[in-house]
Amino acid sequence: MTGGASGGSGRLAGVDAVRGLAVLGMFAVHVGPGPRPEGAGYVLVAADGRAPALFTLLAGFSLVLAQRGQDPARRPDGWARRWRPLLIRCAVLAVLGLFLASLRPGILVILAFFAVYFLAAEPFTRLSTPVLASVAGVSVVAGPLLSFLLGPVFGYGSSGRGLVPEAADLASWSGLGTVVCELLLTGAYPLATYFPYVLAGMALARLCNVRELAVARRMAGWGTAAAVAGYGSAWLAAHVFGGRQRLLEAIAVHHPEALAAADPVGAVLSGQFGAVPSTSWDWLLVADPYSQTPLETLGNAGVGCALIGLCATAARHALGGRLLRPLTVLGAMALSAYVVHALVLAGPAHGAASWSSWLAFSGTALVLTWVWQRIWAGSPLRRGPLEHALRLATGAGRPTQPGGAERGR
């Protein structure tokens, strides 16, 4: 969730605006009304599962932008100089994530997972663009498939996935092993099923220079096509090719209690995050929120690509840039917004879930980040308190390194 301040370019302003949208979507999931078909809150289902995916995609996209913006003469050439800032950044995110999760804010804290994403991404930054794009494409299928096959090996064949590590888990060797397993495979945002978003974001940033208007427009179009392909294929698999019926048969065997629900498939999937049960191959063809199948990953990545293209296009125009400005400022301080909202949820707003809660969180975040940037306009602190602190910890004076956020679920 670490994000850098936008510059004046439409490219960075557009990226931060998309991150700002992801923050508002995260608020919708965490404090908005439940997405039930019978209620008005169902309109917020658009954010369910897509907010964390968008944060993660932006992490990879911004990682490439940050490297592209570095002065080649100032890039570290030694192993220690290259890895030290990264290790510090990951350590800070991991500590923040473990601390916030230990407060039990009622959300699935993603920051510790982001530490793993950034660490794992470093070797891939050295791949050529064609190789990186190929690896990203393969990972969209390979990651979920690996999770599906390995789940039963670790005792998670039908349920139980979706936890987040807490500080107390580190008190024993067995707890440490559980933390590692959660971060890589069985947690709410495991590397196996969420890292494909990072790779996809990196590949997009390499392939698409969104500073060019024509490229940004193509991103919007191709992203929309990818979203339709992902979600549409899942619908066809379920309702035309008999996938839903086969899933109901598997549910009758492995999750019979879910058959009483209005939507048995949704009831099973709501019991875990970051993966699907390993009880039927047809689970890999759904695209429900947080299922992290190849089709959901394709659809979510398409949404992210389309939003980047749309916001980059809008940011190139004076009126569009002004309208996006509040989102751009919020997106530049996504890490601070995430941490503060988690602290509030761990305290006075614990359990909040209504339209008024979402409006209060969204409005407060937009206003406070705007005021903060106006107050510190001439200072490095304009990037945000935690963003600036993280920048200092990893080495002040380097070029701005925009990052991605929380996902925050």
Alpha helices in 151-187 (DSSP H): 173-181
Q: What's the mean pLDDT in 325-351?
A: 96
pLDDT of residue 69: 58
Mean pLDDT of the chain, nearest integer = 90
Question: Cα separations (Å) of 336 from 6, 37, 298?
Answer: 15, 33, 29
pLDDT of residue 70: 56
Say if residue 330's pLDDT is above 90. yes
Say if residue 71's pLDDT is above 50. no
Lowest-confidence segment of 68-72, 257-261, 284-288 by average pLDDT: 68-72
- Residue 187 pairs with which residues in a beta bridge? 163
CB proximity list for 58: less than 8 A, separation 6 or greater:
15, 18, 19, 22, 201, 304, 308, 403, 404, 405
Say if residue 76's pLDDT is above 90. no
- Token pair, residue 199, equals 């790779």
Lowest-confidence segment of 62-66, 69-73, 125-129, 170-174 by average pLDDT: 69-73
CB proximity list for 363: less than 8 A, separation 6 or greater:
none
Question: Cα separations (Å) of 287 from 77, 189, 228, 231?
Answer: 43, 16, 11, 6
Say if residue 397's pLDDT is above 50. no
Q: What's the mean pLDDT in 116-122?
A: 97
pLDDT of residue 401: 40
Instruction: Determine the length of the chain.
Output: 409
Say if residue 11's pLDDT is above 60. no
Say if residue 230's pLDDT is above 90. yes
Residue 100 to residue 89: CA distance in whole angstroms? 17
Residues 129-166: tens digit of each pLDDT: 999 999 999 999 999 999 999 999 988 888 878 999 99
pLDDT of residue 77: 59
- Token pair, residue 361, equals 């969180």
More confident residue, 55 or 42: 55
- Token pair, residue 375, equals 């107050």
161 neighbors 290 (Cβ within 8 angstroms): no
| AA identity, residue 222 | W
Lowest-confidence segment of 257-266, 295-304, 392-401 by average pLDDT: 392-401
Lowest-confidence segment of 62-76, 186-200, 280-294, 305-319 by average pLDDT: 62-76
- Residue 389 pairs with which residues in a beta bridge? none
Q: Which residues of 74-111 are buried (b: 16+ CB within 10 A; e: fewer)?
A: eeeeeeeeeeebeeebbebbbebbbbbbbbebebbbbb
Q: What's the mean pLDDT in 51-78?
A: 79
pLDDT of residue 257: 95
Residue 230 to residue 400: CA distance in whole angstroms? 34
Say if residue 38's pLDDT is above 70. no
- Token pair, residue 126, equals 């050295």
pLDDT of residue 45: 80
SS3 for 163? strand
pLDDT-above-90 percentage for the chain: 78
Residue with tokens 């800032």: 85
Which of 19, 69, 39 has its CA nearest to residue 355? 39
Half-sphere exposure of 284 (CA within 13 A, CB side): 16
Say if residue 308's pLDDT is above 80. yes
Q: Which residues of 359-382 are buried (b: 16+ CB within 10 A; e: fewer)?
A: ebbbeebbebbeebbeeeeeeeeb
Lowest-confidence segment of 14-18, 42-46, 371-375 by average pLDDT: 42-46
pLDDT of residue 8: 40
- Token pair, residue 37, equals 């078909």
pLDDT range class, residue 66, cuts 50, 70, 90:
confident
SS3 for 161? coil
pLDDT of residue 75: 56
pLDDT range class, residue 399, cuts 50, 70, 90:
very low
57 neighbors 121 (Cβ within 8 angstroms): no
Please tell me the pTM assigned to this model: 0.92
- Phi first, then psi, for residue 190 (nearest 5°) are -70, 155
- Token pair, residue 304, equals 């992210």
Q: What is the CA 141 to chain-centroid distance, rounded?
A: 18
Residue with tokens 């100032």: 74
Residues 86-104: tens digit of each pLDDT: 999 999 999 999 999 999 9
Which of 160, 159, 157, 154 has its CA nearest to residue 279? 157
